[in-house]
Copies of this chain bind each other. A is one copy, B any other.
Amino acid sequence: MRMGAVKSKRMPRAVREQQMLDAAVRTFGRRGYMAASMDEIAELAGVSKPLVYLYLNSKDDLFTACIRREAAALAEAVRAGVRPGLPADRQLWEGLRAFFTHTARNPDGWSVLHLQARTHGERFAAEVAAMRAEIVAFVTQLIAAAAREAHRDPDLPEREVAGVAEALVGAAESLAAWANATPGVTAKQAAATLMNFAWAGLGNLMADRPWTVPEEGDPDAAVAQAG
């Protein structure tokens, strides 16, 4: 586990840096950028403040480093959760599961990305936006693939598809918070709910033709490395 490492002297820089980032993510995630103090972060990391500055330069840079690390971790978790060969709906399902699983296991990191980074200046928001764009692009491409699989003309209006992808990602982000806050809702259930909604739509829900959760041999295999 990352936190709570025993306070010991003289460790290699790379390790110390990770300890600092761990402390920073936790502190930024819970207090917010401005309310988090370098004092608190240094103490939580078990080092002196000057060392934090020596390694990470400034509060600004430290926050940026947190965003980058957490964004990369989330993107990687989703990427690793999706098996490329499968049909589009299956890929979307796997991506959503990986997403909900990772955010549930990593609430402070998710808070940094979803809440804190967007609330404190364009600079930070842009950093997250890059990763988000990557995910939106992935979803967009899945939608196009689904269209091809359905033998339909690929001339769905582009902006329409972009909007839908945006809506889908937004819904996922929102559900992540909801799942975290609602006791008894698992990552899998959250993913299923969203899949139903997205794939079938409300209209179909009424008509009793919901998309169904696929049976899996080893449901967690795909996201096991996300922790």
> Which of A's residues lie within 8 Å of B, judged by CB?
32-35, 73, 76-77, 80-83, 89-90, 93-94, 97-98, 101-102, 105, 115-116, 118-120, 143, 146-147, 150, 152, 156, 159-160, 163-164, 166-175, 177-178, 185, 188-190, 192-211, 213-214, 219-220, 222-223, 225-227
User: How many copies of this chain are found per oligomer?
Assistant: 4
Q: CB within 8 A of A196: which of B116, B146, B150, B205?
A: B205
Nearest CB of B to A166, in Å = 5
Once bound together, how far apart are the Cα atoms of A166 and B166, in whole Å? 16
Contacts of A203 in B (CB 8 A): 199-201, 204, 209, 211
Contacts of A172 in B (CB 8 A): 170
Once bound together, how far apart are the Cα atoms of A160 and B203, in whole Å? 15
- The answer to whether A205 and B175 touch (CB under 8 A), given A97-B222, A119-B115, A211-B89, is no
The SS class assigned to the A binding surface is helix
Once bound together, how far apart are the Cα atoms of A111 and B171, in whole Å? 18
Contacts of A219 in B (CB 8 A): 188
Nearest CB of B to A129, in Å = 9
Interface centre among A32, A147, A175, by most chain B C-beta atoms within 10 angstroms, is: A32
Q: CB within 8 A of A173: which of B94, B163, B164, B174?
A: B174
Contacts of A225 in B (CB 8 A): 77, 80
Nearest CB of B to A93, in Å = 7
Nearest CB of B to A173, in Å = 6
- The answer to whether A205 and B156 touch (CB under 8 A), given A34-B35, A119-B116, A211-B196, is yes
Q: Are A206 and B146 in contact (CB under 8 A)?
A: yes
Sample 15 A-B pairs with CB under 8 A, ordered by A number: A32-B34, A81-B223, A97-B223, A101-B223, A150-B206, A163-B178, A167-B194, A169-B174, A174-B174, A188-B219, A196-B211, A200-B202, A200-B205, A201-B201, A201-B205
Q: Are B32 and A120 in contact (CB under 8 A)?
A: yes
Contacts of A116 in B (CB 8 A): 119
